[in-house]
Amino acid sequence: MDTSFRPTRRIIVVLDLAGFAKSFQTQSDEKMAAFVHDYYVACEQAITRHGGEVIKFIGDACLAVFPTELAKSAVDASVELHATVATLSGQHQIPSALGANLHLASAIEGEFGVGTSKRRDIIGRGVNQTFLLGRGTGIRISEPVYRALPSSARSPWNKHKPPAVYHLDAPEGIYEGLGKTPASNALRW
């Protein structure tokens, strides 16, 4: 194994724009590019201001990490970005909303690739599990992130099982990546 790879434990954040692909059906590439640029800027600013680091962007997705002791900051950055994306969507007249998954897990960080494609990245089961928390609009946090939050920051979160996923906003889509459907009587915050 390459010695530049190192095990780490982080709050892993995956951000995605719900409705992004559909918007390309009615919007020009130039208009979508301007929207994505503003979204990238907003992600970089919110994540770094709250103590995190953007690992990479790809299309409408952002992968970021936070130190484990900054669980509340990671959640705060995601909540801030949820509101910012709503504002950007209105400004650009592009229907879109933020979906965010947060998970506290182990992974491997390092430089991957060779030559000009060599990039710092984070990979592992923990990253994959973050993607599997769900998709669609809203903010979803795993049980480990929920437990890392101070007690005072836990009350707004609604728990759904299995697996234990806590969400803000509508639960629609919360289980889509897991082949399940939300309970018809799911609570909303």
Q: Which domains does the chain have, with CATH numbers?
A: 11-178 (3.30.70.1230)
DSSP state at residue 111: E
- DSSP class of residue 181 equals -
Residue whose C-alpha is closest to residue 145's, from 83, 67, 92, 87: 67
Closest CA to 96 of 181, 20, 13: 20
The model carries a pTM of 0.84
Average pLDDT, the chain: 87
What are 43-59's pLDDT values in tens digits?
Answer: 999 999 999 999 999 99
What type of residue is 126? G
Give the C-alpha separation, 99 to 138, whole Å: 5
**3 state DSSP class of 54:** strand
Q: What is the per-residue pLDDT across 130-146, written as a single tens digit (0 to 9) for each?
A: 999 988 999 999 999 99
